[in-house]
Amino acid sequence: MVRAQAAEPAACGWRGVSWVLIVALAAMAPLACGGDDESGNGDLVWVGKPRVTRVATLPRDRVLNGFVRNDGLRRITIEARDVRAVDGSGDALKSNATFIRGYVHPLYPPTRPPAGGLPDSERIRLGQVVRLEPGKRTHLSVAWRLAPGAGPPDRIDYGFGWLPIPGS
């Protein structure tokens, strides 16, 4: 009786190893993206192109409006007070940020906040903080004033990453 020889592990050869390597590299490719001048660095990415507005009567003031998406693998929390417009030298301009598109009246008087500070739900409602699940998006507005003779900022820093300012 003649038996067929069992295939040895080497019979799979480099073909099996190469498929494993290709799958592993493809899985890691999204993690290697980011960090260049076009896309920024971190979990946030622009959804579309943000718009920078300048009013003729306030020539040194700018307001950036756009949407950002969490392209990371975990939920992120960002405080609006940590968001800054930053110039090419790494210097932060005095900036204000919010994660809502318009004005919302606070539930508490500004001179009489509740004991222990505003609850997280109120801070989220006011746009002072955002919690973004992977794949979710939110609005981002950042306003800044240029110092006389100063150049424009080139990125928006949010503490653990940054986004480029288009056209800067």
Q: Is residue 47 part of a domain?
A: yes
pLDDT classification of 16: cutoffs 50, 70, 90: low
For residue 114, the 8-state DSSP code is: P
Range of the domain at 62: 38-164
Is 80 exceeded by the pLDDT of residue 143?
Answer: yes
User: Nearest to residue 165, comparing CAs of 27, 34, 37?
Assistant: 37
Q: Is residue 5 part of a domain?
A: no
Is 80 exceeded by the pLDDT of residue 139?
Answer: yes
Q: Which helix (H) or strand (E) holds 156?
A: strand 155-157
Q: Is residue 16 part of a domain?
A: no
Distance between CA atoms of residues 135 and 129, nearest Å: 18
Assessment of whether the complete model's pTM goes beyond 0.85: no
pLDDT classification of 167: cutoffs 50, 70, 90: confident
Tokens representing 7 are: 């295939």
For residue 147, give the 3-state DSSP assignment. coil
Q: Is residue 74 part of a domain?
A: yes
Q: Is residue 127 part of a domain?
A: yes
pLDDT tens for each residue of 62-101: 999 999 999 999 999 999 999 999 999 999 999 999 999 9
Q: Is residue 112 part of a domain?
A: yes
Is 70 exceeded by the pLDDT of residue 156?
Answer: yes
In contact, 68 and 48? CB cutoff 8 Å: no
Pick 56 or 149 by higher pLDDT: 56
For residue 62, give the 3-state DSSP assignment. strand
| CATH number, domain containing residue 145 | 2.60.40.10
Q: What would the mean pLDDT of 11-18 be, rounded to a whole number? A: 52
pLDDT classification of 25: cutoffs 50, 70, 90: very low
The alpha carbon dihedral of 39, 40, 45, 50 has a sign of negative
